[in-house]
Structure 1
Amino acid sequence: MSRIDDLPPLRDVIAAHDLRAKKSLGQNFLLDLNLTARIARVGGPLTGAHVLEVGPGPGGLTRGLLAEGAARVLAVEKDARCLPALEQIAAAYPGRLTIVSGDALVVDANAHLDAPWRVVANLPYNVGTELLVRWLTPATWPPPWDSLTLMFQKEVAERIVATPGSKTYGRLAVLAQWRCDARIALTLPPEAFSPPPKVNSAVVHLAALPAPRFPADPAVLQRVVAKGFNQRRKMLRAALKGLSSDIEESLRMAGLDPTSRAEQVPLEGWCALARVLAA
């Protein structure tokens, strides 16, 4: 079964509108509507929810969100070729789909959705990480969204949920896990997409916490973590040199060994160091 509504199958939509995926836009389209509905459900029941979707393309996931009961979906699409296909969906779900033609990096979702809204998206690979970092680092916390359900290349997904001591543990893991519960919900093979990417993909679900796990100044924490992992092979006393007049003393005050490396420092340790440096 591949139908969740009375609209045409996605292959027919793509053919009718000549929607060949553009590598320059990081496009890989999901064609299985049962799969898109499954992704829509990852964050829990959608009845009455307001949802932001970035890069809907021909609208497979958009249809899944609406079919699962989302009250309003804001679809932000940069590729003008996709707009007629999305307008077809809007007509089939009157008053529930708002289409914005533009760049998700500059669109204000709060102007269209009631908080707390959710983000559910098969993110374009070329802007996925940048969007995630922006959602994780708003000016105030808690943010206007309550969860993020996002498709990434599997290696990026593994970096988000990585634990200290692993090769994939880094800046993304610290930023995500400081303020969210993060898990990989689904893994998808290349053949689930058109065209098939060269790597596996994964859906990550991040649920916003009411407050960060440990106190820290966000700007200081981001700066310290970025500097630490930028030279992850070096000892902390070398990688973080210049952050204070005596970085070894600052590290000891935070309970950290100056000869440790960034990938060995747990989230609590990074937050402790941020507090020492802020003080």
Structure 2
Amino acid sequence: MATIDGLPPLREVIRAHDLVAKKQLGQNFLLDLNLTAKIARMAGDLTGADVLEVGPGPGGLTRGLLAEGARRVLAVEKDARCLAALAEIQAAYPGRLEVLNADALEIDAAAHLTPPIKVVANLPYNVGTELLVRWLTPRTWPPFWDSLTLMFQKEVAERIVARPGGKAYGRLAILAQWRTDARIVMTLPPEAFTPPPKIHSAVVHLARLAEPRYPADAAILSRITAMAFNQRRKMLRASLKALAPDIEERLIAAGIQPTQRAEEVPLEGFCALARMMEK
């Protein structure tokens, strides 16, 4: 895999460009090109699709995406030190890689892409969850992307796919499972990265649904779940009392017992409550 594109192994690239990972940027570089190609394949057929990648670093996943046939890759990299290494990949794949030296939280990446669009990224740890929530809560649905294939800390990945009844179940699970099919497709040990993080990592694949699983107003659902899970130890009649003076009646009308706690209520229940609040 190290020579599939005529480019040097990633360790040589990092050494040549002095790319020491920066903790403040949430950087942990994945150097095994067999692994980066495998992650690219987890996104499905990339031929005929544009791919958004956030935080490419020295370009390991970028090379995997291009080698696996992505029509075009838009790589958004905040760290200017990585631009020279990414330019070498651009030269190896003429016309198929665009690099933006920018903060992914501050740009409209969709404006640079042509559908169908897939998002595939080893997200920097410090912005991963915020980016995911933004991608899951656009003003209109369906969003600009067809699927998200994202690497997170394993703990975050487990929160995305969590079911009711456990400590991992929360607002992130609600937002993800309301509008996507989400599943963990791969786990990676710390030693797969440079420098090795203190935790395991996992890749989550989220395929968008044409419509949300249950009808609900997105803003109301987001507000309800934020209030409920911010005080998850309280009964819902207490944690949600600021929503309406008759919150107990509305909970019962939604099929929820007022004495239940947030982690006990399934997605369908929160959507039903959102409809009750809309009335």
1:275 aligned onto 2:275: yes
Contact 1:4/1:33 (CA < 8 Å) preserved in 2?
Answer: no
In structure 2, the partner of 1:194 is 194
Structure 1 position 111, deviation (Å): 1.7
Deviates more, 1:229-238 or 1:110-119: 110-119
CA distance in 2, matches of 1:210, 1:89: 35
In structure 2, the partner of 1:173 is 173
Deviations 1:153-183 (A, max 9, x none): 0000000000001110000000000000000
In structure 1, the partner of 2:242 is 242
Structure 1 position 4, deviation (Å): 3.0
Structure 1 letter corresponding to 2:270: W
> What's the Cα RMSD here?
0.7
Structure 2 letter corresponding to 1:140: T
Give aligned pairs, total: 279
CA distance in 2, matches of 1:68, 1:193: 21
Structure-to-structure mapping, 1:72-221, within 5 angstroms: 72-221=72-221
Deviations 1:120-169 (A, max 9, x none): 00000000000000000001000110000000000000000000011100
Contact 1:123/1:152 (CA < 8 Å) preserved in 2?
Answer: yes
Contact 1:4/1:34 (CA < 8 Å) preserved in 2?
Answer: no
TM-score by length of 2: 0.99
In structure 1, the partner of 2:25 is 25
In structure 2, the partner of 1:62 is 62
TM-score by length of 1: 0.99
CA distance in 1, matches of 2:116, 2:271: 27
Structure-to-structure mapping, 1:7-22, within 5 angstroms: 7-22=7-22
Structure 1 position 3, deviation (Å): 3.6
Deviates more, 1:263-272 or 1:241-250: 241-250
CA distance in 2, matches of 1:3, 1:152: 28
In structure 1, the partner of 2:259 is 259
CA distance in 1, matches of 2:116, 2:109: 11
Contact 1:119/1:145 (CA < 8 Å) preserved in 2?
Answer: yes
Contact 2:190/2:197 (CA < 8 Å) preserved in 1?
Answer: yes
Contact 1:3/1:33 (CA < 8 Å) preserved in 2?
Answer: no
CA distance in 2, matches of 1:231, 1:3: 53
CA distance in 2, matches of 1:236, 1:111: 41
CA distance in 2, matches of 1:115, 1:69: 16
In structure 2, the partner of 1:41 is 41
> Which contiguous aligned blocks of 4+ residues in structure 1 show a shift greater than 2 angstroms?
1-4
CA distance in 2, matches of 1:264, 1:4: 50
Structure 2 letter corresponding to 1:104: A
Q: Which runs of 5+ in 1 are unaligned?
A: none
Contact 1:3/1:34 (CA < 8 Å) preserved in 2?
Answer: no
Deviates more, 1:240-249 or 1:191-200: 240-249
Q: Which runs of 5+ in 2 are unaligned?
A: none
% of aligned pairs identical?
Answer: 76
Residue 41 of structure 1 aligns to a residue whose secondary structure is: helix
